[in-house]
Chains A and B, each alone.
Chain A
Amino acid sequence: MRLPPFQTLLDAHGRDVHRFLIASVGATDADDCYQETWLAALRAYPRLHDASNLKSWIFTVAHRKAIDHVRARRRAPVAVGGEPPEPSPAPAAPGGAGLGDDDLWARVRELPPKQRTAVALRYVADAGYDEISAVMGTSEDAARRNVHEALKRLRTEYRR
């Protein structure tokens, strides 16, 4: 198996992986996820059998790290005797001003996980539906539907 130098992969996708993780887990935790993603990729790299779509591969690793991270987060801060806190989406500011720069992507983070991931892959990593389906392990139709549903929701709020 002829694999390109790992640095090539990092040069091509490092920035987009970081941005994808900011979109997925937030800026505070993105650095940790980023490092975990690339170290896991580096560990597995020499055993990789198919180098034909390294972009999908590295985003698959990033996607899994983001899921692990969100799960760990959910487990961690449970107050003793208390109910697990319900994440409550912050309502958009009234007044018809629409969403601010940060608010749009904050809203993306509150979408159902599959929609969130699909949107982040599409609009941060510029992924095609074939790549989104490869990363998320779904059909291309499902990938397209996830993006479509997400846009519909976001549009409703954005127009408000």
Chain B
Amino acid sequence: MMTEIEHELRRRAPRTDPVPDLSQAAAAAGLLDVAFATLDSPLGTLLLATTPRGLVRLAYVDHEGADSVLEQLATKVSPRILAARHELDEPRRELDQYFAGARRRFELPLDWRLTHGFTRRVLQATANVPYGATSTYKQVAAQAGSPLAFRAAGNALGSNPIPIVVPCHRILHSGGGLGGYTGGLERKRLLLAVESGQPRLADP
């Protein structure tokens, strides 16, 4: 049973609101290996994560879940992960501009460390497909050095850790079919529509 003094200790315990922010000091001390922030976009909430090298991850929160993305990053990159909006100012600004139709090319640095081998080559070939254009699984497979591996190229694109910025939505089937997309086909359709000059994403 809780005595009166215990009750008073709990009731009068020090309060804090808000707690001091740590992320700036952590970044200044070189202890922030992964910084993340969310961004509200016309395609839903995006989770962005950066390392000191560059943007390492972009995820559709409704598809992957923020917790599971952060857990993957803890395992594959580093557990030193903090929410730090200021570290993601540039990616957020470029993405906002992109969604507003005011940017056709991302200039932010990328950290490719979550990709390897053939997958990385496929994604780097994909990164060179310009705004408004499309390519095919076969073509990017060829550019990655394995013209026959178009199925594997599809898997590589499906595992794209940085969609939108690495524009895997611009890769279609040779026959013109839409193929697949990490964030769901509806999003692929929307991104392609916007880039081909059709109605803005922000419009209903």
Contact = CB atoms under 8 A, between A and B. Distances in A.
Interface of A: 2-8, 10, 14-15, 18-19, 22-23, 27, 31, 34-35, 38-39, 42-43, 45-46, 101-102, 104-105, 108, 119, 123-124, 151, 154-155, 158
B31 A39 contact: yes
B135 to A, nearest CB: 35
Contacts of A155: 3-5
Contact of A39 (B3, B5, B26): B26
Contacts of B16: 15, 18-19, 22
Contact of A14 (B12, B19, B71): B19
Interface stretch (B74-82, B111-119, B159-167, B187-195): B74-82
A31 B20 contact: yes
A43 to B, nearest CB: 6
Contact of A151 (B3, B19, B25, B29): B3
A39 B13 contact: no
A10 B22 contact: yes
Interface of B: 3-6, 8-10, 12-16, 19-20, 22, 25-26, 29, 31-32, 34, 36, 70-71, 73-75, 78-83
B82 A123 contact: no
Max count, chain B CB within 10 A of own CB: residue among A4, A6, A104, A155: A6
Contacts of A35: 20, 22, 25
